[in-house]
Structure 1
Amino acid sequence: MDRTNETYFADVVSNELLTPHMRRIVFAVDGWTSSGIADEWVRLFFPSPGGEDAALPVSQGKGWSFPDGVPREGRWYSVRAIDGARLTIDIVVHESGVAAAWAATAEPGSRIAITGPDGRYGADVAVDWELIAADMTGLPAALRILAELPAGRRAIAVLEVQDAADEQPVNSAADVEVRWLHNPQHGHAPSLLPAAIRDLRWLDGSPYVWMSAEAAATRDIRSFARRDKKVPNGCAHVVGYWSMRRNTAR
C-alpha cells in the first residue's frame, strides 16, 4: 500500500562520506514504519533557501502544501536500511542539486520532513533467479535487495559506479554473481548498463528483473527484457530514477 501521503519529522543522527561519491545519512524518525518492500522509497523535503524550520507538508494530489506557506523542494530516495526508529539513506555526491547541497553540510540535529514508504520489488510468480541492476542512484536499493535475498536464491548483480573506490561490499545469503561497471563519466555520459546486460549470459529458468538507473538506460533494458527475453510484466520492475536529458532525480 502506498503510504507516501504520510509525513514525519526526520532528525539527522549522523552524516558520513561512505565512498568518494556517496554520502550516508542516518535519521531518527518517530512513528515511521517500513512497508517491508526491499526497494522502498520515501520523499525527503529539504530546507527552503530562507532557512525556515522544517514543517510537515500536506499532500495535495500531485503536489504538497506547507502550513507556513513556504514551499520546500522534495526528492525521492531509497531506504538503505532500517534499525528501529532509525533510517539510513544514501545520497549520491555530485556538483549540483538541492539534496546533494543539503547533504554536504547537514549536521546531527538537523531536521527535515519525510514521507511514508512505497516500493515495487517482488515478482508476481515464482522465479528461478534474479537480475538486479543499478547505477549510483539505484545502488542503495540494489544492495538492500541483495542483502535480503534468502539462502538458495541465485542472482546476478550488475552495478555501475564512477570508479573502483565507489564499490561497496555486497552482503547476501544468496548465491550472487556481482559485476561492477566503472563509468568515470557517470551522470554526464550514457550508462554502461544496457550494453553489459545485453551481453550477459542469462541463467536457465525464469528470471525476475529489477533495475533502477537513468531513464534512457531503463527504457532500453525494459524493452530488451520484455521483447527479447520474454520476461512477463509481473516479473520485471525496471524504473528510471533520473533523466540525464533533464538532469533531474527521481
Structure 2
Amino acid sequence: MSKPTSRLLKVIRKEYVTANMLRVTLGGEALADFPEDQESGYIKFIFPSADGRRLMRTYTIRQQRQHELDVDFALHGDSGVACHWALRAQTGDQIKVGGPGPKKRISESADWMIFVGDMTSLPAISVNLAHLPSESKGYAILEVQTEADIQTLQKPDDIELKWIINPTPGQNSQSLLEHVKALKWLDGNVAIWAACEFSSMRALRAFFKERSDVERGNLYISSYWKHGLNEDQHKLEKREDLDKNDTA
C-alpha cells in the first residue's frame, strides 16, 4: 500500500445522524487521487497547536462517494480538539487530513460473529455490518449514550442488534463484558470484532483470550479511547499495554 498522504480538504456539509453523533462530509480537489473502497479505514485530522506541534486525531471513514468522505464524530462534550472543530465547522472550512489507513474488517471465514463497541467504534461496526454476506449470523452489542442515539443500520437479517444505553461512557469497564457473557453461544467458529474504551477493551480481551473456542486469527480487539485522557496520552498507554500483553 502506498504511503499515506496528507491533503487539504474542505467541509461540504454536516448533519446530526443522532443526538450525539455528528457527520461531517469532506471533499475538494485533493480527493481526486484518494483510493477507492476505503470505508472502515481511517484518516487523521491534523490540527495546529499553540506550541507549534501537530495534533492528530484518528477517525473512521463512514461512507465514501466520488469526491466525498463522511466522517462521524461521537460527541462526548466539547473538550476534545476534534469535536470542538467539528461542532464549529462551517461549509467551506478547510482541514488538513492524513491517510487513508488500513481498513478494519471482521474475518468472514467464521461460522458466526460478535461485534462489540461503543459510539466511537459505531462507524466502523456499521461499515462491517453493511458489507457482510447476507447469510452471516451473530450479534452486535452497541453502546450508545441515549435512546436517541440508536441508528437504523444495514445488516444481514440474522445479525441481532443489542443496544445498550449508557449516559456515562467509559465509567463502567464491565458493562460490555456483562452483555457479552449473557449471549447464547452459537455452534461453529466465531469471529470477534471489538473496539471501545481502554478499560472495557482490557476486560473483553481477557475474557475472549481465556476461551479455547476463539481462534487468535479471528479476534480483532482494540481501544479507541481512554476515559480521562486525550488521544496522545491514550496512544502511549495503549502502546505500553500492547507491549506487556505481547510478552505475557
Superposed pair shares fold, TM > 0.5: yes
Correspondence 1:116-155 to 2 at 5 A: 116-117=99-100, 118-123=102-107, 126-155=109-138
Deviations 1:64-98 (A, max 9, x none): xxxxx943311011111111121110001122100
Which residue is equivalent to 2:55?
73
Deviations 1:194-249 (A, max 9, x none): 11112211211101100110011111112211212531221000010011153546
Q: In the TM superposition, what is the alpha-carbon distance from 1:33 to its structure 2 partner?
A: 1.3
Which residue is equivalent to 2:139?
156
State which drifts further: 175-184 or 189-198: 189-198
Q: Secondary structure at the match of 1:141?
A: helix
Q: In the TM superposition, what is the alpha-carbon distance from 1:191 to its structure 2 partner?
A: 5.8
Which residue is equivalent to 2:40?
39
Percent of aligned pairs with the same residue? 30
Which residue is equivalent to 2:23?
24
CA contact (8 A) 1:135 1:214 kept: yes
Q: In the TM superposition, what is the alpha-carbon distance from 1:30 to its structure 2 partner?
A: 3.0
Query: Using the alignment, how far apart are the partners of 1:236 and 1:99 within structure 2?
Result: 29
| Structure 2 segments unaligned to the other structure (5+ residues) | 236-248
Query: Using the alignment, how far apart are the partners of 1:37 and 1:230 within structure 2?
Result: 31
Correspondence 1:194-205 to 2 at 5 A: 194-205=177-188
Which residue is equivalent to 1:88?
70
CA contact (8 A) 1:10 1:113 kept: yes
Q: Secondary structure at the match of 2:191?
A: strand
Which residue is equivalent to 2:240?
none
Query: Using the alignment, how far apart are the partners of 1:24 and 1:166 within structure 2?
Result: 13
Q: Secondary structure at the match of 1:104?
A: helix
State which drifts further: 165-174 or 129-138: 165-174
Q: In the TM superposition, what is the alpha-carbon distance from 1:37 to its structure 2 partner?
A: 6.1
159 and 90 in structure 1: CA distance in 2 versus 1, 3 angstrom threshold: same
| TM-score using structure 2 length | 0.84
Query: Using the alignment, how far apart are the partners of 1:166 and 1:216 within structure 2?
Result: 22
Which residue is equivalent to 2:92?
109
Moved over 6 A (4+): none
Q: In the TM superposition, what is the alpha-carbon distance from 1:122 to its structure 2 partner?
A: 3.5
State which drifts further: 197-206 or 135-144: 197-206
Higher RCO, 1 vs 2 (CA within 8 Å, ≥6 residues apart): 1
133, 144, 148: which one aligns with 1:165: 148
CA contact (8 A) 2:174 2:203 kept: no
CA contact (8 A) 1:37 1:119 kept: yes
Q: In the TM superposition, what is the alpha-carbon distance from 1:19 to its structure 2 partner?
A: 1.4
200, 219, 222: which one aligns with 1:239: 222
CA contact (8 A) 1:37 1:120 kept: no
Query: Using the alignment, how far apart are the partners of 2:64 and 2:174 within structure 1?
Result: 30
Q: Secondary structure at the match of 2:187?
A: coil
CA contact (8 A) 2:106 2:128 kept: no
10 and 188 in structure 1: CA distance in 2 versus 1, 3 angstrom threshold: farther
What amino acid is aligned across from residue 92 of structure 2 in structure 1?
G
CA contact (8 A) 2:189 2:213 kept: no
Query: Using the alignment, how far apart are the partners of 1:162 and 1:187 within structure 2?
Result: 11
Q: In the TM superposition, what is the alpha-carbon distance from 1:39 to its structure 2 partner?
A: 2.9
187 and 217 in structure 1: CA distance in 2 versus 1, 3 angstrom threshold: closer
Paired residue total: 228
| TM-score using structure 1 length | 0.83
Q: Secondary structure at the match of 1:197?
A: helix
Deviations 1:9-42 (A, max 9, x none): 22110112221211100111332114x4653111
CA contact (8 A) 2:117 2:142 kept: yes
